[in-house]
Amino acid sequence: MMRIPCPHCGPRAQSEFIYERTLDSVVPLNAPPEEAMAKLFTRNNPRGVDDEIWRHTYGCRAWMVLTRHRVTNEISGCRAIGPEALS
């Protein structure tokens, strides 16, 4: 199990969080349908470091971007996003 460093609560167990998606798969609202479909459903799953969107669902409920190595699960960064990041 990973220990995820929540920007608001400090390190917590992975079981408190929900993985949403990789940061590069977020589709802008004005994207054409072809681009949206490609980003949402035809992503690569490469080994190595990637930025992922997680939510601290069973804690402060904040959204965050976690920089994690997909093979070793080493976490090299975490930053808050969304309304919680502004406070």
What would the pLDDT profile of 27-80 be if each residue is shown by its tens digit? 999 999 999 998 888 877 778 999 999 999 999 999 999 999 999 999 999 999
d(CA 59, CA 82): 16
Could you tell me the residue range of the domain that residue 51 belongs to? 3-24+44-86
In a domain, 18, yes or no: yes
In a domain, 29, yes or no: no
pTM of the model: 0.84
d(CA 19, CA 7): 16
Q: How many domains does the chain have?
A: 1
Residue 31: CA count within 13 A, CB half-sphere: 13
In a domain, 79, yes or no: yes
Residue 81 is predicted with a pLDDT of 92
Please give the C-alpha separations between residue 21 and each of 59, 69, 87, in angstroms, as whole numbers: 19, 14, 24
**In terms of C-beta density within 10 A (0-12 exposed, 13-18 middle, 19 or more buried), how is residue 5 classed?**
middle
CATH code, domain with 70:
3.30.2270.10
Is pLDDT of 87 > 70? no
Cα-Cα-Cα-Cα dihedral sign, residues 77, 81, 84, 86: positive
Residue 1 is predicted with a pLDDT of 82
In a domain, 13, yes or no: yes
Residue 39 is predicted with a pLDDT of 86
